[in-house]
Amino acid sequence: MRWRNEHWIGVGFWVITVLAVGSWFVMSSSTPKSATSPNTPAETRTSPASLLVDSLTARTQTKTLTDPIGWIRQGDVLFHNDGGQWREVGYVTAVKRDRKVSPSGLNKPSNKPRPKPDAALTITMFEPDAWSDDAQFIAHRSTGRLDEILATLLPDPRRDAIQRKLKLAFEQHADEVTAALLPLIMQSLQASVPLIEDAITESIEQHANQIESLSDRYRDEIVQQRLIPLVRKEVMPIVRRHGEPPAEAIGREIWDKASLWRFGWRAVYDKSPLPERDLVQEEWRRFLDQEVVPTVEAHLDDIAVAVEEILKDLAANESLRAELGEVVGTIAADKDAHRLVREILNDAIVNNRELADEWTRVWTSPEAKKRLQIAGQRIEPILRELGDEIMGTRSEGIQPGFARVLRNQILGKDRSWITIEPANRLSSEPNPPPSSPPLSSSSSRVGTPVLIRSKEFMAYPVVYLATDLDNDF
């Protein structure tokens, strides 16, 4: 009798549990008012439980897609835009990739990367009416790059609103914040410059052998082989064309004013045993001051015009610009130069213990704490307000963009998906997606739609927000 009581108690417990879970699924299929905040988009008001119930009770059809891209995985979702609202209309139930290799290529190693074979995607549609063989099926992927995260957190309308708020806050508090922080910045810079200079000098001395080796290589590869021939071929003809006329005019005037007699007899006098010496040098100084300098000054306008024309022709010379660009690119791409500059900067700034101690002293002083407190009192309210707009609040819940980032970055969800775009809608757009890519012979299937790679980033279409479980029972 005791065993029977325990048996019926256990059966009753499991029956009650099953009924409770079933009632939660049924009740969660209709959206409760408290499930989301008033500001939550309509696309986020569907709970996972209701989606599961709908998928179990809806009629389904199986479709096939050809995937030449390789982004889509089993379980990824298909979305359809229904009146401006994205809806889940199906999901990928199987991914079958053709891995056949032609016998002729088995024993022929090649350095070329093998193209990824096309895949046949089995799609289960629980809204079959959204499927159309004439539609475009576009594959999307979230790689988790910083630009994609920012685009998800800050769509264009929100980004513009935040920029306006930041601009307004800066206009209101810029003078106070600047007055509080500028003295600390100036103290840091004044203390840092001599420390960095000494560290750079010391680091250059330590890397003298590497610098000399690099200079010798540049002198031979760049200066001798590229720059000097470039100057002879491109620069000198331009300088000669514009510089010769004023140079010849100045030279003729100076020659006409030079007196061979005055120089000649002074040279003879300097060679004689007479007591006075250096008459030639005195005459040369007089000639420079009284004849050469005034002559050159009289032609300064001609010299300026010649220099201007030379610079114009040099700037317009395509060969010169291309060669100098290649030289700069060669130096910029030099791994040895990168490594040397990085080591010097690390020694001078990153690993400079004296510099770190000086910055610590400046920014942890009592004066700095007072100034930072003043700046914080002005900045903190706007930062908190921006944080609430980006991440959400306790009263209104998590923002959809922040929820997307959490699911993608923390939970590893929503990495790839497919959208269905009607063909007539795409044809009316100014920049419709490209036509389907060509298929390999091994995966070409007549009448099977082909996935197209998305050219622009798109945030995951829907967001699932947790509902209030207390209102579900």
The predicted structure's pLDDT at residue 417: 92
Cβ contact 445:64 at 8 Å: yes
Report residue 366 CA to chain centroid gap: 39
Give the chain's mean pLDDT: 76
137 with 25, same domain?
Answer: yes
Residue at 379 is within a domain:
no
- Residue scoring higher pLDDT (88 or 268): 88
Exposure string for 154-187, b = 16+ CB within 10 A, e = fewer = beeeeeeebeeeeeebeeebeeebeebeeebeeb
Cβ contact 462:43 at 8 Å: yes
Nearby residues of 185 by Cβ (< 8 Å), 6 or more positions away: none
327 with 445, same domain?
Answer: no
pLDDT at 456 over 80: yes
138 with 212, same domain?
Answer: no
Distance CA 92, CA 445 (A): 18
Cβ contact 138:433 at 8 Å: yes
pLDDT at 244 over 80: yes
304 with 426, same domain?
Answer: no
Least confident span in 77-86, 99-108, 235-244, 365-374 = 99-108
Count: domains in the chain: 2
Distance CA 149, CA 459 (A): 9
Average pLDDT of span 20-30: 61
| Tens-place pLDDT, residues 26-39 | 565 544 443 344 44
Distance CA 62, CA 311 (A): 71
How many helices and strands, by DSSP H and E, does the chain display?
17, 9
Distance CA 275, CA 382 (A): 89
Distance CA 458, CA 389 (A): 21
Residue at 152 is within a domain:
no
- Residue scoring higher pLDDT (411 or 30): 411
Domain end (from 286, 306, 333)? 333
Average pLDDT of span 192-212: 89
How far the first Cα of the chain sits from its last, in Å, is 35
Average pLDDT of span 218-236: 82
Cβ contact 283:266 at 8 Å: yes
| Tens-place pLDDT, residues 264-321 | 555 655 555 555 556 556 766 777 777 778 888 888 888 888 888 888 888 888 888 8
Cβ contact 347:206 at 8 Å: yes
Give me the phi and psi of 182, to 5 degrees please. -60, -45
- DSSP conformational letter for 450: B
- Residue scoring higher pLDDT (348 or 102): 348
- DSSP conformational letter for 115: P
Residue at 409 is within a domain:
no
- Residue scoring higher pLDDT (74 or 166): 74
Residue at 195 is within a domain:
no
Distance CA 297, CA 303 (A): 9
- Residue scoring higher pLDDT (68 or 383): 68
- DSSP conformational letter for 440: P
Residue at 172 is within a domain:
no
Range of the domain at 278: 207-333
Distance CA 391, CA 401 (A): 8
Distance CA 200, CA 209 (A): 15
Least confident span in 328-337, 427-436, 453-462 = 427-436
138 with 211, same domain?
Answer: no
Domain end (from 318, 333, 348)? 333
Give me the phi and psi of 139, to 5 degrees please. -90, 130
Give me the phi and psi of 229, to 5 degrees please. -60, -35
Could you tell me how many residues make up the chain? Answer: 473
Q: pLDDT band at residue 442, thresholds of 50, 70 and 90?
A: very low
The predicted structure's pLDDT at residue 418: 92
Residue at 455 is within a domain:
yes
Cβ contact 82:127 at 8 Å: no
Domain end (from 302, 333, 364)? 333
The predicted structure's pLDDT at residue 33: 40
138 with 216, same domain?
Answer: no
Residue at 15 is within a domain:
yes
What tokens does 164 get?
Answer: 């306006």
Cβ contact 444:62 at 8 Å: no
Average pLDDT of span 192-215: 88
306 with 226, same domain?
Answer: yes
What tokens does 416 get?
Answer: 């790839």
pLDDT at 344 over 50: yes
Side-chain half-sphere of 119: how many Cα atoms within 13 Å? 18
User: Parallel, antiparallel, or unpaired: how do β-strands 397-398 and 119-125 relate?
Assistant: unpaired
430 with 327, same domain?
Answer: no
Nearby residues of 93 by Cβ (< 8 Å), 6 or more positions away: 62, 74, 122, 123, 124
Exposure string for 64-89, b = 16+ CB within 10 A, e = fewer = ebbbbbbbbeeebbbbbeeeeebbbb
Cβ contact 177:375 at 8 Å: yes
| Tens-place pLDDT, residues 103-116 | 444 445 555 555 56
Distance CA 376, CA 266 (A): 81
H or E element, residue 271: helix 260-271
